[in-house]
A and B are shown apart, each in its own frame.
Chain A
Amino acid sequence: MSEGKDKKDIRDVVTTGPPVAGLVSPSKANLIEPKTKEKEEKFGYERCTHCGYCRHVCKVYNTSWSETDYAGGRNRIIKALDRKDIKFDKEDIIPSVYRCMLCGNCKVVCPVGINTLEVFQNLRKSVVKKGAMPEKLKGLRKSILSNNNPFLEQHTDRFNWCEGSEDGKKAYERAKKELAAIEDTLAVEDQNARKEKPRKVGYFVGCTSAYRNKELVNATSEVLGKLGIEFVVFPEERCCGSVLFRTGLEDEALALVKHNYEMIRNSGVTEVVFSCSGCFSTFTLEYTKYAGGNLGFDLFHLTQYALRMVKEKNLKIRYTKRSKDNPLLITYHDPCHLGRYCNVYEEPRELIQMIEGVKLFEMKHNRDMSWCCGAGGGVKALYGDVAGEIGRDRIAETRTCMVRIREDRLKEALETNAEVLVSSCVFCKNNLFQVANEDNSPIKVMDISQLLNDCEFYQ
């Protein structure tokens, strides 16, 4: 159990019933299946009863107050378009389709179990096919397709981060060597040898860490090194395609999926570790689907892998900058891609709680009811400056949707009296770090890899 008992968990708020009664959907155990016609989850909007429960948890709606910005409102639009009650308009449709963080909180509270993520990703796909796409997205697409990353950076610079990490450099050199061996010989005996090797660990870095957050990828490499793992990176690594999947450009993502999938398969790696929750969820969901349900290698987020190693090797963890008597007070922010997308809630907490010199406090909205940081679903990239542009003369209105959302999250973290907000997603870290920095907030924001890198692992 986490500390911070004086702070209410969102599920403990009493309304008229027992805890939970007012805030999330009822238990569906004794409820009959909704009567629907749809055969596939992407048509789940058909079963929407417009109960409006999703409005309460939608951080975008609670900032924009637009009826098209929450799941039920968007479902109404899709239904109306389907039935031709309303005409398709390439320009006007864009905000209602893209002003969504795809955080999945609406999916959690939906009483009829609509897979809103599937519905809205499919909606994006279908509007793109009809020629509707935000201008900024066109730039992102172009960069990914030509440079294999969304940042307009040279593909050849992808592994520049290795310069800052001894373990990273070693991993890269190991991988290069093995790659050369594969290309040179493709010898059957070598391949057999690889298959026989009990465990071979790969680290999929991801674009944001590689180009924008080298401190995070360095920390991850060091942590894997501290855990005694001789891992490799993938010198031919390309963007995982997450951005394309989330924004309706699935078809264009498939070439990246094919490349990365074959790259990992050919490398002989049996376990792939991710520090980026976005890449991890894309592999877990989309890549697995692409591979027909079996990738042929196992996927781990760093938090899962580190926990497993610590347990297997019977290690203890000590935070080197504080003591047991003067612990660092931490609150953990669940990234949507790790939590609601992949159901990884407990491993990060278990890992943090194993660290001597650290104490965990929960925020009111945690686990599957955690608030999104505001960076998901392309909202940051596409709508980061919308309100800023149109409301310069009003301070209250110049805050962008995304800024307000991340401010809310930071405020909730501050309420726990924690000194550090830890997340396990590079996007959450960046977004929350930015607001903490801008507001001169007393709370520090860091990635879990950075926290672990400040720890000592011992027996």
Chain B
Amino acid sequence: MNETIVKKKMNGKLTQTQEKVKKGGKKRNFEEIVKEFISPYHVSTNKYELESASADLTSLPSYHYKFKKNYLASIIVRPADTESLSQLIEKCWERSLPITIRAAGTSCFSSATPSKGGVIIDMRRINKVEHIDPEKMTVRVGAGISWLNLIEKLSDYGLAPKAYPTSFKTSCVGGFLATPGKAGIGVLKYGTMADSIISLTLVLPNGKIEYISRDSKGEISLDDIAGTYGIYGAVSEIELSITNLKTSLEIIGYGFSSLEDAINYYKALMSKVPDKPFFLSISERQFERYSHINFPSQEWLVWAVFYDDPEVTFKSVSVSEEIALNSNGVGVDKSYLKEKWRDISDAEVAIGRTSRNIIFQEYWISNDRLLSFYESYVKRAGNYKFPIAAYTISGEEGWSRVKIFGLSDITRPIEFFTVKAFLHDLSMKAFKQGDSLYTIGIVNTFYLRKYKREVVKERKVLKDKLDPKDMFNSYRIIKARMKLWRISLLFNTAKLLYKISFKKK
């Protein structure tokens, strides 16, 4: 039997389907086969659904997807449980159909979009809270559950997840583990998403269901799954360690005129305060300015949220205030603090108000090199006139996720690509100084192949073993569709054109 992509005209329109062709010539459509075990309502080839599900929540223009070999899936399937997911993946495996696993699509780097067409498996229906154990402080959930739904459900029991992303209003539990769950709310205090995991259920590329715990000794471990963008299979269920809802939450904010003072204070809050901050961030004044009418006057701002029992929170706030006063910190106005309190999850969304096509890159920087990275950012930013802003959140011990935003519009293509070039230069800087990118999409895998060869090699060995045809979440981490020299050429040209056009003005 052969698997082939058949193009045929139906109702006057050209459709493309994968079909299993029997020797006798009788065809059975993949869609029909899937509908035998997954509700037809959740198997779709609707043109508009395909277009939407083949994109993520980015505001980047559509070229961003369309450069890929085949950005558009042929079919979307939404299984409801691990068993039907396994059956579906097995059918794809038998037919060598490319698979893209997606849920909320909030990582915005095409991380959850097809690169070879094929099947999109939408995980959102695998979203049940299977079991809450308030005594053991654990919860078992479907990986497609949104963080907000989980937070709501747990709060009914006085419980809460330990670590979750700033995008928790929209993102899903499984996605945070894949992309890669090392920076966000609660991470500094409780550890990464991977640290919270007790066990998980993984469906391998051949459809086999694997139960993996911390002690598992199989070919694949929890460490292989965290931060690897689903290249080894689909996580369907996750058992998480949770905590109880705390009773006291305070936010502090201090402004600094010197970058060095701000970073020193940020680092001091990680180590010198009795209770580690629940959330810690640095923002540039510009970052506040691009989304707010009134904003603090200091150039660099450090924000910390303490969330625990009243006594612990009070102590932490007192110590933090003391350190700030000894570090030339100026307290931010209380009204702004109140707003910032709400802003934790909205900050990265609010900046999008000023731009039609917001562009950003997330860098994974060691705290030891944070200052030098920021200095490089400031120096390079001075060469351009377009709006740029930086925002950093603390990650796991010793690391930070620095997010640089460029506010542009594709209708100004030279500026648009120069913003991208600027972010690219900073990526090169990060890798050269031994750091990396936080989120690896489909495009920027070439950095890894150039600067993290050993890691890629190691990942590839396991990938070849589990998915020899590379059908599962292809082009993530181990393969690159784009060449570094081509990107460099494109961006250098953009920078040159920007300089010329700027001089003319």
Contact = CB atoms under 8 A, between A and B. Distances in A.
Given A391-B41, A394-B39, A16 B170 contact: no
A53 interface: yes
Nearest to B343: A26
Interface stretch (B52-60, B429-437, B472-480, B491-499): B52-60
Given A18-B342, A31-B291, A391 B57 contact: no
A289 B133 CA distance: 55
Given A17-B344, A31-B350, A86-B47, A22 B245 contact: no
B44 interface: yes
B478 to A, nearest CB: 27
A1 interface: no
Interface stretch (B149-157, B217-225, B441-449, B456-464): B149-157
Contacts of B167: 52
B12 to A, nearest CB: 11
Contact of B125 (A35, A65, A67, A92): A65
Contacts of A17: 249, 305, 341-342, 344-345
Category for how many chain A residues contact B: 35 or more
Given A16-B249, A27-B342, A76-B55, A8 B156 contact: yes
A274 to B, nearest CB: 35
A77 interface: yes
A89 B11 CA distance: 11
A92 B44 CA distance: 11
B342 A397 contact: no
Contact of B51 (A51, A56, A77): A77
Contacts of B41: 64, 386-387, 390-391, 397
B353 A35 contact: yes
Nearest to B11: A91
A66 B44 contact: yes
A31 B47 contact: no
Given A35-B354, A49-B352, A51-B349, A96 B59 contact: no
Contact of B305 (A8, A16, A76, A86): A16
Interface string B325-355: 0000000000010110111111001101111
Nearest to A61: B124
B62 A80 contact: yes
B278 to A, nearest CB: 7
A444 to B, nearest CB: 26
Given A22-B168, A56-B169, A85-B62, A33 B40 contact: no
Contacts of A68: 46, 48-49, 52
Interface string B1-35: 00000000001010000000000000000000000
Contacts of A396: 39, 80
A111 B49 contact: no
Among B13, B41, B169, the one with the most A-chain Cβ atoms within 10 Å of its Cβ is B41
Interface in A405-438: none
A14 B23 CA distance: 61
A92 B293 contact: no
A13 B155 contact: yes
Nearest to A54: B170
Given A20-B342, A390-B41, A31 B293 contact: yes
B108 to A, nearest CB: 9
B339 A55 contact: no
A18 B341 contact: yes
A53 B307 CA distance: 24
Contacts of A397: 39, 41-42
17 contacts: A16-B278, A16-B344, A17-B341, A17-B344, A18-B342, A26-B342, A30-B336, A35-B354, A52-B106, A53-B170, A67-B52, A68-B49, A91-B11, A96-B52, A112-B353, A391-B40, A396-B39
Given A23-B152, A32-B293, A67-B122, 20 more contacts: A13-B152, A15-B148, A16-B279, A16-B344, A17-B342, A22-B148, A26-B350, A33-B353, A50-B57, A50-B59, A56-B146, A65-B42, A66-B44, A67-B105, A68-B46, A68-B52, A86-B48, A92-B48, A96-B52, A390-B39
Interface of B: 11, 13, 39-42, 44, 46-49, 51-53, 55, 57-59, 62, 78, 80, 104-106, 122, 124-125, 146, 148-149, 151-152, 155-156, 160, 167-170, 185, 245, 249, 278-279, 290-294, 305, 307, 336, 338-339, 341-346, 349-350, 352-356, 358
